[in-house]
Chains A and B, each alone.
Chain A
Amino acid sequence: MDSLFETLYDILFQPIIGMRNMAKGKNVGQALVAFSLSILIPILALYFGLKATGMSTMIQVMIVLKIFGSVVLWVMGAAIWHLIAEFFGGQGSARGLFTALGFAHVPRIFIVPLWALITFFPENSKTLLMTIGVLVVMLWSLFLDVVAIKEVYQLSTPQAVLVFITPLLVMGILCVICFTLIGSSLTHMPMWL
């Protein structure tokens, strides 16, 4: 069994090999450590960042939302994607996917050096650079999610992408339906001058 260092290296720089090993090894303990680090380190950076900008009231909410959202996404994501992957004919275990998805959050730790680096840039370009940086990290993380699904269930890349986006598509459709219903119920609201 690879050490955590080797696994992290593989996940970051050889994601296909890394995820394949994860799917076989199913080392939940390592995944838990990697997940915790990849959540707590950006949270610390977020804490310092919000403190520096004086947005102290946002800190608690952001931290709670970040932890809660990430854990929900990990656990629920593994469960939902497992069901969808099996529906699409994938052969793999939920535990393997759960382990692999835990490692898919690892690129988020790069937000910290990115944030530190951006502080040296001019004020007017900071927001744009940070947005681009966060977007790249998020895309990297999403790419790892897809690779995890692909390797755990031995699906083709288009199939893995389809499995990945199915819950998002369903949520999108549900949102459209909800907004349509809410919108139609608001039409009888009293008019004000």
Chain B
Amino acid sequence: MYKKSVIILISLLILSSLVGLAFQSGGSKRPRLSEKIAIIYVEGVIVGGRGQSNVLVEQGGTDQIIKQLHEARDDESVKAVVLRINSPGGSAAASQEVGEEIKKLRGKGKVVVSSMGDVAASGGYWLAACTDKIYANPTTMTGSIGVYVPYANWEELYKKVGIYQEKIKSGPHKDILSPERPMTDEERAIIQVMVDDIYNQFVAVVSEGRKMDETAVRKLADGRIYTGNQAKQLGLIDELGNMYDAIDGAAKLAGMSGKPEIKEYGKQSPWNMLFGGSEQASSLLEKVILNQAKNALNSSHVMDMETDQWQVK
């Protein structure tokens, strides 16, 4: 009987503690709506779609970035957004899609500031050009304003391994950029027109975003990369500084006083930490190489830079 009484007493103690904790958790909802600065990360090669997704995690792909931009736009407490870019570029269409979303966000009256990490080149710079202000480290690799369409001719290799591919096509250019035959002059001209068109759009975005004359942009936009220091002198970025300088700058532009509250979007979820990979500098390089290899096979319109131009050996 004594033992039973003790256990019942303990059970009551535990039950009352649980009820107390339940009330405490219900009553501690934060009603305040303080002004926040959102941080959205753009990391790795910019590719359209959902990126890698499985039951537990979803990462990469511009759909996620666009979703986060939408959330920041709809969140009344978010007064400014810092776009933390660490990307060597990617698909033109994906970059354009995100760039347009940034413009819409600015159209809603929210300040958008870019903070460049290790590298924010090509498509990464496209996004930055769409923001109100750009911060970069003096050693950040940026620029690479240009477009290319990769093409590999594997005809000789196919011959050596005895592969002969035949295509029945609806039009003469349906198999343009096919790797098993040389490109014709006519096809080269078609692709060049496309590259020029995308390049002109890129130049227009930079010109509009940076409030620079198109001719001046074209002079800088020969595909080369610049250090953050050079980019500052050339007017491609506004300030030298790290992410926290960008946060302070965003707060200032948004007219926020005091220390701003930070809201990180796309922060690694616990599932991601457990089952997903993190974006390390070395894997960034691997992704660039992988992307180039993929492009050689699939031939999509890609803005990119050569890694040996900026990698320190």
Give the interface of A toward B (CB within 8 A).
Answer: 3, 5-6, 8-10, 12-13, 41, 44-45, 47-49, 51-52, 54, 57-58, 60-62, 109-110, 112-113, 115-117, 119, 189-193
CB-defined contacts of A10 to chain B, threshold 8 Å: 3
- Residues of B in contact, count (CB < 8 Å): 28
- In whole angstroms, how far apart are the Cα atoms of A48 and B274 in the complex? 23
CB-defined contacts of B269 to chain A, threshold 8 Å: 57
In the complex, whether B7 has a CB less than 8 A from a CB of chain A is: yes
Q: Which residue in chain B gives the minimum CB-CB distance to A10?
A: B3
Contact A45 B18 (CB under 8 A): yes
Contact of A116 among B8, B20, B270 (CB under 8 A): B20
A4, chain B: closest CB distance, angstroms: 8
CB-defined contacts of B30 to chain A, threshold 8 Å: 54
Contact A115 B6 (CB under 8 A): no
Give the interface of B toward A (CB within 8 A).
Answer: 3-4, 6-8, 10, 13-14, 16-18, 20-22, 24-25, 28, 30, 139, 269-271, 274, 281-282, 285, 311-312
Contact B7 A52 (CB under 8 A): no
> Given A52-B24, A52-B25, are A61 and B17 also a contact pair (CB < 8 Å)?
no
CB-defined contacts of A45 to chain B, threshold 8 Å: 17-18, 21
Contact A9 B25 (CB under 8 A): no
CB-defined contacts of B281 to chain A, threshold 8 Å: 192
Contact B25 A109 (CB under 8 A): no
Q: Which residue in chain A gives the minimum CB-CB distance to B268?
A: A57
Residue picked from B8, B20, B274, most chain A C-beta under 10 Å: B20
CB-defined contacts of B8 to chain A, threshold 8 Å: 5
CB-defined contacts of A109 to chain B, threshold 8 Å: 10, 14
CB-defined contacts of A8 to chain B, threshold 8 Å: 7
